[in-house]
Structure 1
């Protein structure tokens, strides 16, 4: 059976069709794996902390907790959840989903999007029926359309100016070379490089480097390296500066993240 022919799960078939949204809530333990599956409706994946890794037929989509992962209806995917967390699946009606991206992607949780979802989730809403909730759901969908999307948390580029910079930083995430210094090395200007980062990668040089360092830190934490060692090797002036970055992007401290990775049967 091909991935496009996978049957929908019994859980999905038991849910009411979204009108325009249906919510499903779960709590997952560390290192939870989901085999290949697909859904009858478009799906927004939301996690409370950490990282969500989705395997698509052609690529891997990695998302931290400040992003929603959008999977259009019928798209096969598998998932890996590294740490214990709360998970919300928001199914979107077909007519509403038509206004969202046609391919799997990440959608940033703006403050308003987060607030609207928090309200639904804190009330444990499963279906939308009250007129006020319908209006709130429509506003949420509108804001999701406006928020834009990205194909990858840490995108690449084969641009002749950016490629050598990205390769060098991937090889040495702790390199403290500034954008102005990179401009000299690639015979360009800081303004030109800043513009290309924004246009081709959808983020600034500093944002890209911060994401690179975060992903490297996650791997080193899993290997058992100390927070102090990781902070120093990644170029942070103090461990507290590294911890602040980590909490801002993942939602928990590095030590708590490591404990959850090592926990047997759930969070520490």
Structure 2
């Protein structure tokens, strides 16, 4: 792919000092063609799921609202927003971006990071106008550096014990086999598998399975399947248990997510993601 130019919108903005905020509202099923930015960019959504397509290597980076998506300066990406939401783009000056990850990744919004961003967003801050905002931005950047990052919302592994488990679960997201039962199948122990999930995937077996089920649920909701049907297919004892998981992960109910998917679809957008 030929190197993409920076958009006229980006080039019209002031250089982040050290941050610059852009606030937008997007309708369901908004898409952005391949583009890149002259500065590092933190993407923040209010609810639901943000999907970014990365070029090298070609992969999809899916992130629920509990995460920020970090894209370093100059990295080509495309985006798909499935549901109507509030969106904030935070551009980061080069000097500060150098302390953040060198590759696209997800950064969890800790309570303090969320509170600092909420304050900027509620006040509609764009450029930083006074020393208090600059100090708040510096604290935010420090916390972002400390928060760590993950390469993927649903990571994979070639580990000889985890690989068959992950493949089987991806094929049947509703499989309710316990970790102890999986340990017997792969000739290991529950303790060993639990340790490998944490060490190699950065989360527990139950957390990984919940993320898998959320992504499958989003796909099935788009296909028009009912909440009760999805809940049963994914192994939840009741629809309310499934709904509770969905709200915790996305900030909205499955029915609201579906209604937003069925909203009027705006024209496809190109260029800079606002």
TM-score past 0.5 threshold = yes
Q: How does 1:39-50 map to 2 (within 5 A)?
A: 39-50=37-48
Where does residue 104 of structure 1 map in the other structure?
Answer: 104
Aligned-residue Cα RMSD (Å) equals: 1.0
Q: Structure 1 length as normaliser, TM-score?
A: 0.97
For 1:83, what is the secondary structure of its paired residue?
coil
Where does residue 6 of structure 1 map in the other structure?
Answer: 4
Tell me how far apart the structure 2 counterparts of residues 264 and 128 of structure 1 sit (CA, whole Å): 36
Tell me how far apart the structure 1 counterparts of residues 227 and 74 of structure 2 sit (CA, whole Å): 41
Q: 1:128 offset after TM fit, Å? A: 1.3
For 2:80, what is the secondary structure of its paired residue?
strand
Q: Which has the higher contact order (CA 8 A, sep 6+)?
A: 2
Tell me how far apart the structure 2 counterparts of residues 17 and 200 of structure 1 sit (CA, whole Å): 39
For 1:158, what is the secondary structure of its paired residue?
coil
Where does residue 93 of structure 2 map in the other structure?
Answer: 93
Deviations 1:137-159 (A, max 9, x none): 11110111111101111111010
Tell me how far apart the structure 1 counterparts of residues 4 and 265 of structure 2 sit (CA, whole Å): 29
Where does residue 171 of structure 2 map in the other structure?
Answer: 171
Where does residue 233 of structure 1 map in the other structure?
Answer: 233
Tell me how far apart the structure 1 counterparts of residues 260 and 230 of structure 2 sit (CA, whole Å): 18
For 1:17, what is the secondary structure of its paired residue?
coil
Tell me how far apart the structure 1 counterparts of residues 183 and 20 of structure 2 sit (CA, whole Å): 49
Tell me how far apart the structure 1 counterparts of residues 124 and 265 of structure 2 sit (CA, whole Å): 25
Q: 1:265 offset after TM fit, Å? A: 4.5
Deviations 1:50-102 (A, max 9, x none): 11111111211111111000000000111111111110000000000000000
Tell me how far apart the structure 1 counterparts of residues 183 and 194 of structure 2 sit (CA, whole Å): 10
Where does residue 260 of structure 1 map in the other structure?
Answer: 260
Q: How does 1:132-171 map to 2 (within 5 A)?
A: 132-171=132-171
Structure 1 residue aligned with 2:29, among 28, 31, 44?
A: 31
Q: 1:129 offset after TM fit, Å? A: 2.8
Tell me how far apart the structure 2 counterparts of residues 40 and 72 of structure 1 sit (CA, whole Å): 9
For 2:222, what is the secondary structure of its paired residue?
helix
Where does residue 215 of structure 2 map in the other structure?
Answer: 215
How many residues in Structure 1 have an aligned counterpart in Structure 2?
Answer: 264
Tell me how far apart the structure 1 counterparts of residues 14 and 34 of structure 2 sit (CA, whole Å): 23
Structure 1: gaps of 5 or more residues:
none
Tell me how far apart the structure 1 counterparts of residues 141 and 202 of structure 2 sit (CA, whole Å): 22
Q: Which runs of 4+ in 1 moved over 4 A?
A: none
Deviations 1:145-204 (A, max 9, x none): 111101111111010000010011111111111111111111111111111111111111
Tell me how far apart the structure 1 counterparts of residues 215 and 128 of structure 2 sit (CA, whole Å): 37
Tell me how far apart the structure 2 counterparts of residues 252 and 190 of structure 1 sit (CA, whole Å): 34
Structure 2: gaps of 5 or more residues:
267-274
Where does residue 205 of structure 2 map in the other structure?
Answer: 205
Q: How does 1:108-123 map to 2 (within 5 A)?
A: 108-123=108-123
Deviations 1:82-126 (A, max 9, x none): 111110000000000000000000000111110000000000000
